[in-house]
Structures are given as structure tokens and as C-alpha cells.
């Protein structure tokens, strides 16, 4: 059994995969899990590696990326504390279809697929939780595709800000959770375009100071990025 802080245990219990389970059920699933610590820009797995484990983020951020032969990369998604990833690949027993890198210093829980599968056989509701978790992933990806196809770069940035604003404390400011270059790639644009997009959004009441973004007029911004 791994050693987790109280805060970390709360994170685990709150994750979609485990939310519906009792503390002891979680204990069973975590039995024999590895706790791994990785440093900034370190690789967790490469595309094509045999997928034997999935991950739960406790601290830091992980980016899932796809590379092309020329070396440029596309960030598919970024996972933070409380989120799980690579469940699907691990579960299918195939190989990872993407690569994973730590953006920050990270603490991660490695979930053994074997244990997970075994538990599903015994406890069908774990399967339901897993289905729910994967359904959420699906929805995220579907929205991302729609955004890429329907919105301009500026609108995607605006949309990103608005989404974060909903989780914000004061409803007026957000802060960028990680570097702009990574953010740009996640939104499907170059770092330069992202920088310019931010500047252009000042027309709609967006002010940037360091890593803090102040949205003077959320409605105006929402009207510009009319989506969903």
C-alpha cells in the first residue's frame, strides 16, 4: 500500500473513477499501486509502449501529446490533480496511442489494470464508474474537435478563458495554470498566435498582467465567442 497524505486521499476519493466507492473498496484497488514522482518535462510513457497501467494525478500536470515526424507536437489534453488518464488504453491491453509528459513536478498514482479488471468482475458498479469516467473523456474530446473545426484562434482563447472563469473564485479573474506555449498547443495554435490573440481580446474586456487575466466584461466576451 502506498503512502498518501490526507489531502491526497481526499483527491483519490473524489475522482470520478472512485467517487461512488467506499473507502475500503478504494483501498482494495489501490493495493499494490505504485506512487511515482516525476520532474518537469520527464516522460511517463511513449506512444507505442505497452499499456500496462493507467494514472491518477495527485500533484502537478501531465500533458498527453502526439508528435509528427518533423518533431512538432500537438497537446491533446492536460490532466491535473484528481484526474485520471490512459484508462482506456490500459484497459484495452494494447499500446498507448499517445505520449505523456510531466509539465511540472508531479506525484502520480499508477493503477494496475489487472487489479482494476479483477475488481470489475466482482463489483459491476466499478465498471459503471469507469464508463462514466470514459464518457466524460469522450465528451471533452468531442467538444475539442468541434472547437477546432468551428472557431477561430481568438474564439478558442476566449472560450478557454470563459471556461476557467466559471471555476474562478471571484468570477472576474483567472490565472494561467501553465506555460503559454503549452496552452497554445492545447488550443491548437502556435505560441505566437496565442500571444497575439490575447492582445486582440483586450477589445472585449480582457486584461493581462503577468499570469493573471482580468475579465472586465464576461458577457461581452461570451457574446464574441458564442458557442455551446
What secondary structure letter does DSSP report for 95? B
Determine if 43 is a binding residue for a copy of itself (CB under 8 A): no
Long-range pairs for 20-23 at CB < 8 Å and ≥24 separation?
20/125, 20/128, 20/129, 21/125, 21/126, 21/129
State the sign of the Cα–Cα–Cα–Cα dihedral 26, 77, 139, 176: positive
d(CA 55, CA 27) in angstroms, rounded, equals 16
The answer to the question of residue 19 lying near DNA (CB under 7 A) is no
Other beta carbons less than 10 A from residue 93's beta carbon = 12
In whole angstroms, what separates CA 182 from the centre of its chain?
Answer: 12
What does residue 149 show for φ and ψ, rounded to 5 degrees? -85, -30
Q: At 129, is the secondary structure helix, strand, or coil?
A: helix
Q: Which does 196 bind (CB under 5 to 8 A by kind): a copy of itself, DNA, none?
A: DNA
169 φ, ψ (degrees, to nearest 5): -65, -60
Q: Is 98 in the site for a copy of itself (CB under 8 A)?
A: yes
> What's the closest the beta carbon of residue 25 comes to a copy of itself, in angstroms?
15
Q: Which option in DNA, a copy of itself, none does residue 181 bind, with CB closer than 5 to 8 A by kind?
A: DNA
Q: Which residues contact 168 (CB under 8 A, 6 or more apart)?
A: 174
Binding mask 62-91 for a copy of itself (x = CB under 8 A): ----x-xx--x-x-x-----------xx-x
Footprint (CB under 7 A) of DNA, residues 150-209: 152-154, 179-182, 188-199, 208
Of 69 and 169, CB closest to a copy of itself: 69
Cα 228 from Cα 220, distance rounded (Å) = 15
Of 111 and 215, nearer to DNA (C-beta) is 215
Contact call for residues 144 and 74 (beta carbons, < 8 A): no
Given DNA, a copy of itself, none, residue 195, with its beta carbon under 5 to 8 Å by kind, binds: DNA
216 touches, from DNA, a copy of itself, none (C-beta below 5 to 8 Å by class): none
Query: At closest approach, how far in Å is the CB of 118 from DNA?
Result: 41
- Residue 135 found at the interface with a copy of itself (CB under 8 A): yes
Residue 226 touching DNA (CB under 7 A): no
The option from a copy of itself, DNA, none interacting with 143 (CB < 5 to 8 A, set by class) reads a copy of itself
SS3 203: helix
Q: Which residues bind a copy of itself (CB under 8 A)?
A: 66, 68-69, 72, 74, 76, 88-89, 91-92, 97-98, 117, 120-121, 124, 127-128, 130-132, 134-139, 141-146, 148-151, 185, 188, 226-227
Amino acid at each position: 500500500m502506498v503512502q498518501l497524505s490526507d489531502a491526497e486521499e481526499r483527491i483519490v476519493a473524489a475522482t470520478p473513477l472512485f467517487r461512488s466507492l467506499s473507502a475500503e473498496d478504494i483501498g482494495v484497488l489501490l493495493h499494490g499501486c505504485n506512487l511515482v514522482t516525476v520532474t518537469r518535462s520527464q516522460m511517463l510513457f511513449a506512444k507505442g509502449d505497452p499499456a500496462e497501467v493507467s494514472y491518477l494525478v495527485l500533484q502537478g500536470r501531465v500533458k498527453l501529446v502526439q508528435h509528427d515526424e518533423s518533431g512538432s507536437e500537438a497537446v491533446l489534453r492536460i490532466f491535473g490533480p484528481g484526474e485520471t488518464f490512459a484508462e482506456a488504453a490500459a484497459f484495452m491491453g494494447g499500446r498507448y496511442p499517445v505520449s505523456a509528459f510531466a509539465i511540472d513536478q508531479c506525484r502520480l498514482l499508477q493503477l494496475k489494470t489487472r487489479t482494476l479488471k479483477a475488481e470489475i468482475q466482482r463489483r459491476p458498479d466499478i465498471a459503471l464508474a469507469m464508463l462514466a469516467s470514459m464518457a466524460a473523456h469522450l465528451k471533452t474530446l468531442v467538444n475539442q474537435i468541434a472547437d477546432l473545426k468551428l472557431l477561430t484562434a481568438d474564439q478558442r482563447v476566449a472560450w478557454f478563458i470563459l471556461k476557467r472563469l466559471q471555476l474562478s473564485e471571484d468570477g472576474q479573474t483567472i490565472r494561467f495554470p501553465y506555460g503559454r506555449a503549452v496552452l497554445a498547443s492545447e488550443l491548437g495554435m502556435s505560441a505566437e498566435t496565442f500571444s497575439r490573440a490575447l492582445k486582440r481580446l483586450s477589445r472585449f474586456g480582457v486584461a493581462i498582467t503577468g499570469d493573471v487575466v482580468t475579465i472586465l466584461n464576461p458577457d461581452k466576451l461570451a457574446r464574441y465567442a458564442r458557442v455551446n
